[in-house]
């Protein structure tokens, strides 16, 4: 008997999973994790057709899994049903592209300036909305030349780690990748950059099981060798971290050749903040932070919570003298990668984010720190505040530099408060 056969019988029908599901809270028509997961799974395994469009509305946030008292793998059952679900042609085509951010990154970064210009133009966005059902309200992230490279080995023999940037850092924010490398080096670690691109979360989230499996195999092939030679893997994107730590989301289960290596990778993968906190606990964290007057709101992404590592960024940021951090603890932002870009899901995506937006508005921080790129996009879309990766704040604190701060409609480069229409209380700019 397989483990997940047991898991169906483990369901107590307590409905705890339903109480934490952000989609169900935002739209009562959503059948909820208990129904879409173990209840319908029973029928699916009997070969009874239960296909429903609602499986597409699952965010893959894993909140249901985390609260289940009997360890039912609810979201994985829904992900499998999503992969079997047949979509209308246009949505299927759109999701095919969304499932392949590496391919999209390769194409758009042939001429990144041209791609950015085209993607930012209103007519192009309204055309994409008509042809591909992409929400016209959304702005695409900017693309940049993928020039992230392993730095040369420096100085004494030091502990070496593999940095897995994922496709967003590689194709959209290589500068953030260099920040991560710099942070690790300043903490006594030498870094090599993983050669693979996507972790596979976008493929899984878009119901493309074959693409997810192929990406997972490529990652296992490349990373297992490095883990075998004693290297640890570091991620700075919570979704990449989640995927690598769950043995590639169960998609390699039953694949004898890869499943065992995937587990080895899982137990040797660390979130950047988790690793830095471990350095701190061992008395090895470089704490030469300069005083930085900054009032932050921190949002923990769902895929950070699902790693079960506490709130390491929250604690690290509070080590910087002068920085105050308020943990928003306000649930899911509603973006979930490409989910919020889909026209039919845009309203529910924004409804889910309402509680977080209200908490940030009430906290009136100088900026928001969160380690997920799409949470950053959603926060900037739903509030008037700027959101950045906490690694950028930590690195700049070593040099006594205040990160670019302010409301999202101003940049410190051009702002000595002129463009700030509503200066947050206590803001020092």
- Residue numbers at the binding site for ligand SF4 (CB under 6 A): 11-17, 20-23, 33-34, 37-38, 58-64, 68-70, 72, 74-75, 78
* Secondary-structure breakdown of the chain: helix, strand, coil percentages, each rounded to the nearest 5: 50, 10, 40
Residue with tokens 């953030």: 176
Which CB, 64 or 320, lies closer to ligand SF4?
A: 64
Between 147 and 329, CB nearer to ligand SF4: 329
- Toward ligand SF4, which CB reaches closer, 227 or 302? 302
Nearest approach in angstroms of CB 56 to ligand SF4 is 11
Instruction: State in angstroms the smallest separation of the CB of 34 from ligand SF4.
Output: 4
- Token output for 151: 């730095």
| Choice between 63 and 381, CB closer to ligand SF4 | 63
Query: Closest distance between ligand SF4 and the C-beta of residue 95, in Å?
Result: 17
Choice between 17 and 379, CB closer to ligand SF4: 17
Q: Which is nearer to ligand SF4, 11 or 395 (CB)?
A: 11
Q: How far is the CB of 304 from ligand SF4 (least distance, A)?
A: 14
Residue 410: φ, ψ to 5° = -135, 155
- Residues 6 or more apart whose CB falls under 8 angstroms from that of 29 comprise none
CA distance 33 to 64: 7
Q: Does the CA dihedral 364-370-374-375 come out positive or negative? A: negative
Taking the complex as a whole, the smallest distance from the CB of residue 1 to ligand SF4 amounts, in Å, to 18
- Spacing of C-alpha 293 from chain mean position: 28
| Residues 165, 133 contacting (CB under 8 angstroms) | no
Alpha-carbon Rg for the chain in angstroms: 21
CB of 107 to ligand SF4, least distance (A): 30
CA dihedral 221, 224, 225, 228 (to 10 degrees): -160
């Amino acid at each position: 008997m397989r483990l997940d056969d047991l898991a169906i019988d483990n369901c107590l029908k307590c409905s705890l999973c339903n109480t934490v599901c952000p989609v169900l809270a935002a739209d009562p028509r959503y059948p909820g994790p208990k129904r879409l997961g173990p209840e319908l799974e029973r029928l699916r395994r009997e070969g009874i057709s239960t296909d429903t469009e609602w499986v597409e509305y699952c965010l893959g946030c894993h909140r249901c899994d985390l609260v289940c008292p009997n360890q039912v793998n609810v979201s994985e059952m829904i992900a499998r049903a999503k992969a079997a679900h047949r979509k209308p042609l246009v949505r299927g085509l759109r999701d095919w592209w969304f499932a392949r951010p590496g391919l999209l990154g390769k194409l758009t970064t042939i001429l990144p300036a041209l791609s950015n210009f085209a993607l930012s133009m209103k007519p192009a966005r309204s055309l994409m909305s008509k042809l591909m059902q992409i929400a016209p309200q959304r702005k695409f992230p900017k693309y940049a030349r993928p020039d992230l490279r392993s730095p040369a080995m420096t100085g004494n023999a030091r502990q070496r780690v593999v940095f897995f940037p994922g496709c967003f850092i590689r194709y959209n924010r290589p500068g953030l990748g260099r920040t991560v490398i710099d942070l690790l080096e300043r903490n006594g670690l030498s870094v090599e950059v993983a050669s693979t691109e996507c972790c596979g979360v976008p493929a899984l989230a878009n119901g493309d099981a074959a693409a997810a499996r192929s990406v997972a195999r490529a990652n296992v092939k490349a990373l297992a060798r490095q883990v075998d030679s004693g290297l640890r893997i570091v991620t700075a994107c919570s979704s990449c971290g989640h995927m690598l730590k769950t043995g590639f989301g169960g998609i390699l289960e039953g694949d004898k050749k890869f499943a065992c290596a995937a587990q080895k990778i899982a137990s040797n993968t660390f979130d950047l903040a988790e690793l830095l906190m471990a350095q701190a606990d061992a008395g090895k964290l470089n704490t030469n932070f300069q005083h930085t007057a900054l009032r932050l709101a921190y949002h923990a992404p769902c895929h950070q919570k699902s790693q079960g590592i506490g709130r390491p960024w929250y604690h690290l940021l509070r080590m910087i003298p002068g920085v105050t951090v308020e943990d928003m603890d306000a649930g899911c932002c509603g973006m979930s990668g490409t989910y919020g870009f889909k026209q039919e899901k845009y309203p529910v995506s924004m409804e889910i984010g309402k509680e977080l937006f209200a908490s940030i508005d009430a906290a009136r921080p100088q900026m928001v720190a969160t380690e997920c790129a799409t949470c950053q996009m959603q926060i900037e879309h739903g509030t008037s505040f700027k959101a950045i990766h906490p690694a950028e704040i930590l690195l700049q604190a070593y040099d006594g530099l205040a990160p670019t701060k302010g409301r999202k409609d101003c940049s410190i480069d051009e702002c000595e408060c002129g463009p700030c229409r509503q200066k947050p209380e206590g803001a020092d700019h």
